[in-house]
Amino acid sequence: MTNINHFITVDLGASSGRVMLISIGTNIHQQEVYRFKNQPSSEGDFLVWDFLSILNHIKAGIKQAFDLEPNITSIGIDTWGCDYGYIDQAGKLIRNPICYRDPRTEGIDSFTKHYFNQTDLYESTGIQHLRFNTIYQIACDIKFDKDLIEQVDTLLLIPDLIAYFLTGKKHMELTNLSTTSFYDPNHKEISPLLYELGFKQAWLAPLIHPKETYGVLSDEIVNELGIKPIEVVAVCTHDTASAIHSMTIEPEDVYISSGTWSLIGKLLDQPLINEDTYRASYTNEIGMNHQVRFLKNISGFFIKNKIIEAYDANMLDFDTLDEGIQSSLSFDSVIDLDHKDLELGEDILNTIKVHCIKTNQKAPSNLYEYLALFNYSLVSKYRYHLEILERLTETKTRQIFIMGGGSQNDLINQMTADMTGVNVVKGYKEASSVGNAFVQQQRLNERFNPNSLIHNQSQVFKPKQSYEAIYQRFLTIIKEGNL
In this structure, the number of other CB atoms found within 10 A of the CB of residue 393 comes to 19
Cα–Cα distance for residue pair 11/430, rounded to 1 Å: 9
Helices (H), 394-430: 410-420
- 239 catalytic, yes or no? yes
Quickly list DSSP for 348-381: HHHHHHHHHHHTT-PPP-SHHHHHHHHHHHHHHH
Residue 61, SS3? helix
Q: β-pairing, 172-173 with 207-208? A: parallel
Distances (CA, A) of 440 to 89, 98, 174, 450: 31, 30, 16, 12
Cα–Cα distance for residue pair 117/121, rounded to 1 Å: 6
Residues 6+ apart with CB under 8 A from 56: none
User: Considering 83, 239, 332, 418, which one is annotated as catalytic?
Assistant: 239
CB 15 within 8 A of CB 37: yes
Cα–Cα distance for residue pair 34/16, rounded to 1 Å: 11
Where does residue 60 rank: exposed (0-12), middle (13-18), buried (19+ CB within 10 A)? middle
Which DSSP state fits 407? G
Catalytic residue ranges: 239
